[in-house]
Structure 1
Amino acid sequence: MQHTKDLYKKRDYNASLESASNSISLSKESLYYDHLPCLFLYQSRSFRRLKQYNEGKKSALSAIYWVDKTNNVDEVGDIYIELARNYKSLYQYDSAINHYKTAIYHLENKQDTIGLSIALNNLGAIHKIQGNYSKALKYYTKDLEINTEQDYKKDMIIALNNIGQVHFNTKSFNKAISFYERAESIAEEIDYPRGIASANSNIGAIYHQLKEADQALEKFYIALSLYKKQNNSYRICETYLNISNVLIMKEEYSVALSFIKKSQELSKEIKNHHILNKSYYIEGECYYNMGKYDQAIVLLKKAEQFYNEDHYTIEYRNILKHLHQSYIEKKNYKKAYHYLDKWLVVNEKINDLEQKKIIEDINSKFENKQQLLLIDQLNKQKELKEEKIIYQNRINLFLIMISLLLLAFLVFIYLINRKGRKTYKLIREQNHEILTIHSELMDSLKLASKIQRSIVEIPRDTKQALPEHFIFWKPLQEVSGDIYHIEKKDDYIFITLMDCTGHGAPASLLATLGVKTLSDIIDEGHVHPDEILEELDQRIDVESSLNKDISGMDVSILVYDILAKTISFAGAKRPLYFINENEPVYIKGTRRSIGETLFTPKKPFERHTFNITSDIKLYMYSDGFGDQFGGIHNKKYLEKNLRKFLFEHSHLPFEVQKDLLRKEYINWISPSEGISHKSIDDTLVIGFNFTV
């Protein structure tokens, strides 16, 4: 069964289909039925990906049959989603709606927010296609609420764009653009090109409706450029048509027709009937505006066969309008009246006052809920600010005490200097003593540096089990508060990065304590990273209560299960960044440090686990690189630029990556001759390449 799933994830749908069919036959022959629901599910998914929707529907129905037979309900919600998707692709919308609702019932019981989001999004899409905008808005709004609560940024972007499209179709352009701009803002925040492209395309459509042609084209060309970089054929086709619509409005008909032809060629290649028929109707509209009514009628009637009042209602209304106008020009008033009559029915449905009232009510409730969430967020920020003020007062008191001590020391030095020559000999002796102490201290620090490097040295058996990797470690002084620890125990490899408060000797002592404590915890048999962090936090808390000089540390820990081929990660304010199938993924650490005593109750550490199904490049880093000032304008490098650098060079061997990272650091602090910036903190970046 796992082999079938792996083939599907690799998008080898024919092989996945064959594997599922073989496994189904073997399961039936051996009378072992427990895996049949899952196998039929993946068979259905593969059929759908290959656009064999009737076969996909049959497989999904078989999956439901075996769910009832085996009482194996683990994936029943996903199965009903798959069945509904096949019905939707066959344009059997009533059946699709019923099965999505059944899926929601099961997914709510399982508290599967990802599955719920998929079902709600698709229900909204079907109702939007049918012109039932109040129902579409209800489902899209619920989808947005779930994704906002779970902080699923990419799904929030999709939901915001969908809600914007409902307001766009009901001509509430100001509301539509507010949702599109929110989607674009989040997409830019997380550097998500597909989301940025969708928002620009949608905003361009509003400019088109407002007859601001140049602004519309600017937005559409931005979207087109981004979609081409992503090789998103469907959206490229759609954007060609959007551009041609604006060009028709500008009466640039020959250029508009060239874009329509591009869309038709590509939509035939990807076998998308909706886009192809939409291109026929836009081509017909173009010929109508050129005064070529016979050609316009042929193309519009061709498109009319695909659409109806419950299937892409907006497009259907526009086709009826242009057929009516074309027959008027041809003086065929009987047919013109026929299409006018049909247009009035569809238009009344779209502009239904009761539906608009429901939309306003849903929108009002959503805005009120957003305001309540904002008030709650402001109250939490106020509480946090008050806690920070208390903490700052403590720091201020500490600084005052240090200042008084420093003042006393300066007075002492002044009194000594007043003695002049009488104490010159004494001063020389004191200077000699200070130099001796300094020399001994530097020797001690060098020895401490050797000891620290021996602590982080990777054992030979662990090194043999490790994948290709690099470690870029640049302490600010002889010893570092940023440290790493890598060890293998049984069938697990533990990779840890610690970023202790401060730098130099004090931070290195805490780092050494952290590594020793961590090693003890691993030796005791803990294998889950979140549990290891909790145990480490408790033990550091005990040390802090005995020694007030001990401060906190930020930690990221990764556990590789060699047998299961899985990776588990948990972070204390430090993230994990990885590239899987050329897609970057950024996992934030829990907003809590090890040894943190300021905020209670403490938020539990979150564990993230995923299978290794392809080559995957993982990176962990301290805050030193991102916080380093440099460049021509003496600004911070920033973490997002570090992630971008790692992504752009992730295809290279890891030794080459390390060398380029070192050069990037040097070039940042010394951007040109005569400009040089000091390093301000310890710096640590580690990377690993896990392979299947």
Structure 2
Amino acid sequence: MFIRFNKAYEYIPYYCDVKNSLLTIALLLFFVPSRGQTSGIDSVYKLGKSEKNIRKKLLLFNESIAYGWYYGDYDKAIRYGKESLKLAHKYKQDSIASLMDNNIGIAYDYKGDYSQALSHFYRALRVAERIKDRDNEAYILSNIGLIYNNEKLYEKALEYHQKSLKIRREINHKKGISASINNLAIVFMDQKQYEKAIHYYNQSVAIDLELKDSIGLADDYNNLGVCYQNKKDFGKSEYYHLKSLEIKQKLKQNLGIATSKLNLGVVALKQGQLAKAGNYLSEAETLAQKLGTKEILKSVYQSLSDLGYEKKDFEMAYDYLVKFREIEKELDNEENIRKQTQEEMNYTFDKERETQRLNQLATALENKKKQEQALIINWAIAIVGMLILGFSFVLYRRWNEVKKQKLIIEEKNRQVEEKNHEILDSINYAKRIQTAILPSNQLRERVLPEHFVLYEPKDIVAGDFYWLEETKDSIIFAVADCTGHGVPGAMMSVICHNALNRSVKEFGLRDPGLILDKTREFIVDELSKEEEDIEISDGMDISLCTWNKDTNEITWAGANNPLWIWKKESQDIMEIKPNKQPIGKHFDMKPFTTHSVELQKGDRIYLITDGYADQFGGPESKKFKAKNLKNLLVQISNEKINQQIEILRSTFFKWKGDLEQIDDVCIMGIEIN
């Protein structure tokens, strides 16, 4: 009897393709009403009809369809959509036709017509795949996943949501990433994996706070409320539903407002707060009838029937149960998703139990009417009135106490949210600083031959970093892994980066072993504060090369991280072992060994940290391992060096799947030419 919100259906204006015409923009801003006014669909559609340029015309038509479902005018959105589709096909505007099919599918889904929704989604998907519109492809995949989840086909739902998330991560669409994570959480919640669902919802909240996405936050809070409701933690559930409702009311989202009031009514009913439940459910009923949303209306009727039952108002319970069964029958008779999957639709409650309950309510109502007599009713009213008066006084005092406590809690939550914003802003600023110390793309392209750098931090800031310095006679480059990741790792990376710079620039060292010796000396000295009785054993693992530009000789030294060399002649990878000691405090510190490396034209060298090989994933959730990484590099050796990065990245994320990344990843590959 609750409603959760997906985040695949995003209202995305496409004004960007129309902005070349100042007159069009002026008209659009004049005619399009503010959020919440459904007449805007007609204004945008009329504006499209007056446009002469066919592409601009179709984009405005598509905008009107999205406007319609966003503000609850589903029938008009479908009618305008089908008319516009004919024109898009006539002029072979495939990309816009795909957008239109997707928006029409959303309108059908909100109406509860899953068969038509899925038909339009798949048609839109085929076009998006053919024209390689990856953003729209991810959006449609997510919409299909939502349909399958509604039908309890959880494996299919997860499959489509994970496909969508993969694309959105590859194109770095943060708002889409948040939507896909939210939709994965919905699937886990529907499978009663509540802790896992809450973990994913909180990830979505963090992204939406960063993006300042009010619409996304409203959905996040709504879904957290539903999750806590299922866990029977009604206090937290009510808190998150109220936060969601507040945002939706500011945005004038009628569908979202109806949903939040239904959910708040269910929570109040679960807690025995019958008057509050009645108010919320009545408001939800009025709004749902106005919007014509059958799914919400069905849940409202069921909840109002339960409310009547709890109040012993059997006539109310009976009337709403009859309405519930009628609308359920309407939805059952409509074409639905099972025509696509060839399986029977699963219902949200036990029909046999509801039929038995209907008979019991009818019998109770009949018995009550027979037993009612005027004198008994009058006495009952008088007694009940006195009880209500006394109970109301107690409730009023309790309400005042709860109201005061609520204000205190809200203030504390506001302070916590402000502090979280400050912390997140600080970490993002730290990321800018850490990015600034990394070698620029221009420097790498200028001083290095064919190469790539795969750099995938686990968190916003990282403990891994790559380093490059050009001197008069040498090019010195390295890949390093500092102790920890996130903020502690990032702080260590700045210390270690500075120590490397001093060793080369201040002391003029070129020999890799001597550079690591001097770097260790700086780091140990920096982290040892004897006067304060503080001693820190943190440090870094590193793989460092010096390339003499005059002699073309390459020398190397490593601390715990090896050097891999792919020989063109043998088509295999050889490994040079590092010193088994870190750049930092160690029980047996020895000088680092410098190795001379003989290379031929076409040979490749790889500097790596352990994050890639240590990542858990695959069908058995095991580590990827260094051996498999070597095999992968051999398998893709026929690819150009600067094209290997995409294969390595896609393999990593496919292996990881929806598991958490456990460490930072950094790999540098260089081809000798």
Q: What is the TM-score normalised by the length of structure 1?
A: 0.47
Q: What is the TM-score normalised by the length of structure 2?
A: 0.49
The structure, 1 or 2, with the larger RCO (C-alpha pairs under 8 Å, 6+ apart) is 2
